Structure 1
Amino acid sequence: MGAGAVGCFYGALLARAGHEVVLIGRPQHVQAVREQGLRLEMQGFDGHLRVEADTDAAAVRGASLVLFTVKSTDTETAAAQLAPHLSPDAVLLSMQNGVDNAERLRAALPAHEVAATVVYVATGMAGPGHVRHFGRNELVMERSRRSEAVAQLLREAGIPTEVSDDVRGALWAKLVINCAYNALSAITQMPYGRLAQGEGVPAALDDVVAECLAVAAADGVQVHGDLHAAVHRIASTMPGQVSSTAQDVARGKPSEIDHLNGYVLRRGAALGIPTPVNRLLHALVKLLEGRCAVTTA
């Protein structure tokens, strides 16, 4: 549900493994998939896969597993569209940026099993019906009643999947990385490798990380590992990656910035933790969004 780059990539891997996959997405993308299949381009494979595609959420009918990959801004709307059509035993994986989407999805669909899932992948849409993979594809899934069975299914499709008792910490760890790079990449329209070479940027990244970790600690979240080092490694492991926020701004679309740096500044305000760097990054991206809205109006 919400078959953009992430949904298409994981849907393609499941289709390659022989599963029946339906992509629910935008009309242009759906038309391309219906006409020529879904093209998956990755190391060692470049080909078209036959999958179903539809613009209507009713296409979820009969599914036992739903990869929920809509933007954080669309969680409640998409959940409401799915609700009349979901099978009673359907499991939903919230594979979204941000830290509170699974909670929001459970509130909207209280009768269904929802597992927060942290996604580590570099992928993008090269055009309608064409997903391109750049690196990584691991998942960390929240432990739930059927999480082990779902994780095994994913592993058999070539998707390394860990079931975790502390997915909140993993969600926050990814949030920190997103807060460090997404807004800066959007403001400059630069990929991570070039961005990190800019004068003063490494220190600015450290400032963002420090603020995020202070808010997490005040919120009772234990974030494992050296996040400062992890953030700096991203520049070398994903040097050509442009953030999803940068892609949204470039296309004149609303971004998820309210659920990234915006979430940190709101939690910081509630907990009495100052977050001036996150506040500035959030404000600058909102200005860019406003400029795009005026330009495209």
Structure 2
Amino acid sequence: MSPLRYAILGTGALGGFYGARLQRAGCAVHFLLHRDYDHVRQHGLICESKDGDFTLPVVQAYRRAADLPPCDVTIVALKTTQNHLLPELLPPTGLVLTLQNGLGNEAAIARVTGPDRVLGGLAFLCSNKVGPGRIRHLDYGHLALGEFETTGITDRLRAIAADFERAGILVTLEENLAVARWRKLVWNIPYNGLSVILNAQTDELMRHPATRQLCEEIMREVVAAARATGVPLGEDAVATMLAYTDRMTPYRTSMKIDYDEGRPLEIEAIFGEPLRAAAAAGYAAPLLATLYRQLQFLEAHRPR
């Protein structure tokens, strides 16, 4: 059994999946919940997974962050639209690992905790929350983990990775977290954006020649934006992400689900922050800018 104790902030499609896998592997895991607290407290968590369904009939569930016990690692799995809550949610001690999408999340956490406690992670996961305490894992699950303040692979990264690997999660340790962040954006920007704008799943975007080409063009622009900011992202990221999506189970992206269900969209973290970073480096990213402005319009004008 791992000596590390984990807190999960955000027990949804992301935090619920990884937290449940850690608990099933024998880790001590404490879950912060909001709407689902009463249900999960009474019934536990259910994970319907392509790798095999399982149920955790008893979990350590909490309604208030102040009630969480001290933990070695706090995993932030909230939507970035909830980052304004971080000052009241983050603990005074322990490591903080954000698995959120987009740019700027580690910096936002570091402003609360100090940079030395912050780790970053990228989840390559197709997973949906389909009911209170019920997670449906459709595909993938790989994690990439890295240090925020320094480059290189540290013992604390290795210890956390070992727990995830015991839980059956493939983990890559990243020498440079910024490269991993931008690599994930190569996927997130085209597919999250176009899924909302064009009302399409990933397989539909890949099947039509025009949208497949558009996805590839957006990806190449994201790679160029990363390089303009000094991040040495390889051009092979485009081919890798296209192949990854070709193999993917037909998927309604997390942003499309948020849009369909009337929740705030992660526009700033996934689109606004990369666009501003590129502009600050003197690089114009017209496709990214177009997606950003279209999503702002749709967010402002959708029925509430």
Query: Would the TM-score normalized by the shorter structure come out above 0.5?
Result: yes
Question: Once the 2 structures are TM-superposed, how far is the Cα of residue 230 of structure 1 from its aligned partner?
Answer: 2.2
Q: Which amino acid aligns with 1:24?
A: L
The range that moved more, 203-212 or 51-60, is 51-60
Alignment-derived partner of residue 155 in structure 1:
165
CA RMSD for the aligned pairs? 1.8
Given that 1:257 and 1:285 are in contact with CA atoms closer than 8 Å, whether structure 2 keeps it comes out as yes
Question: Once the 2 structures are TM-superposed, how far is the Cα of residue 107 of structure 1 from its aligned partner?
Answer: 1.7
Alignment-derived partner of residue 42 in structure 1:
49
CA distance in 2, matches of 1:196, 1:57: 41
CA distance in 2, matches of 1:94, 1:155: 18
Name the TM-score, length of structure 2 as normaliser: 0.89
Are 1:123 and 2:133 an aligned pair?
Answer: no
Residue 28 of structure 2 aligns to a residue in which SS?
A: coil
Question: Once the 2 structures are TM-superposed, how far is the Cα of residue 178 of structure 1 from its aligned partner?
Answer: 0.4
Gap change, CA 1:225 and 1:271, over 3 Å in 2? closer
Given that 1:2 and 1:25 are in contact with CA atoms closer than 8 Å, whether structure 2 keeps it comes out as yes
Are 1:185 and 2:195 an aligned pair?
Answer: yes
Given candidates 245, 248, 253, the residue that maps to 1:235 is 245
Correspondences of 1:88-237 after superposition (within 5 Å): 88=93, 90-110=94-114, 113-142=117-146, 143-144=153-154, 146-224=156-234, 226-237=236-247
- Note the residue ranges of structure 2 that are not aligned, 5 or more in a row: 1-8, 147-152
Gap change, CA 1:55 and 1:237, over 3 Å in 2? farther
Alignment-derived partner of residue 30 in structure 1:
37
Question: Once the 2 structures are TM-superposed, how far is the Cα of residue 118 of structure 1 from its aligned partner?
Answer: 1.5
Gap change, CA 1:237 and 1:32, over 3 Å in 2? farther
Alignment-derived partner of residue 301 in structure 2:
291
Residue 139 of structure 2 aligns to a residue in which SS?
A: strand
Residue 220 of structure 1 aligns to a residue in which SS?
A: coil
Q: Which amino acid aligns with 1:121?
A: L
CA distance in 1, matches of 2:163, 2:174: 16
CA distance in 2, matches of 1:261, 1:59: 35
CA distance in 1, matches of 2:174, 2:31: 27
Question: Once the 2 structures are TM-superposed, how far is the Cα of residue 129 of structure 1 from its aligned partner?
Answer: 0.8
CA distance in 1, matches of 2:117, 2:24: 26
Given candidates 7, 10, 21, the residue that maps to 1:2 is 10
Given that 2:201 and 2:251 are in contact with CA atoms closer than 8 Å, whether structure 1 keeps it comes out as yes
Percent identity reads 28
The C-alpha deviation readout for 1:196-239, integer Å capped at 9, x for no partner, is 22241122112211221121111100113612212322332224
Given that 1:61 and 1:87 are in contact with CA atoms closer than 8 Å, whether structure 2 keeps it comes out as no
Residue 45 of structure 1 aligns to a residue in which SS?
A: coil
Given that 1:118 and 1:167 are in contact with CA atoms closer than 8 Å, whether structure 2 keeps it comes out as no
Given candidates 56, 76, 87, the residue that maps to 1:80 is 87
CA distance in 1, matches of 2:68, 2:217: 43
Gap change, CA 1:164 and 1:268, over 3 Å in 2? closer
Given candidates 57, 75, 78, the residue that maps to 1:70 is 78
Gap change, CA 1:53 and 1:185, over 3 Å in 2? same
Gap change, CA 1:232 and 1:64, over 3 Å in 2? same
- Note the residue ranges of structure 1 that are not aligned, 5 or more in a row: none
Q: Which amino acid aligns with 1:187?
A: I
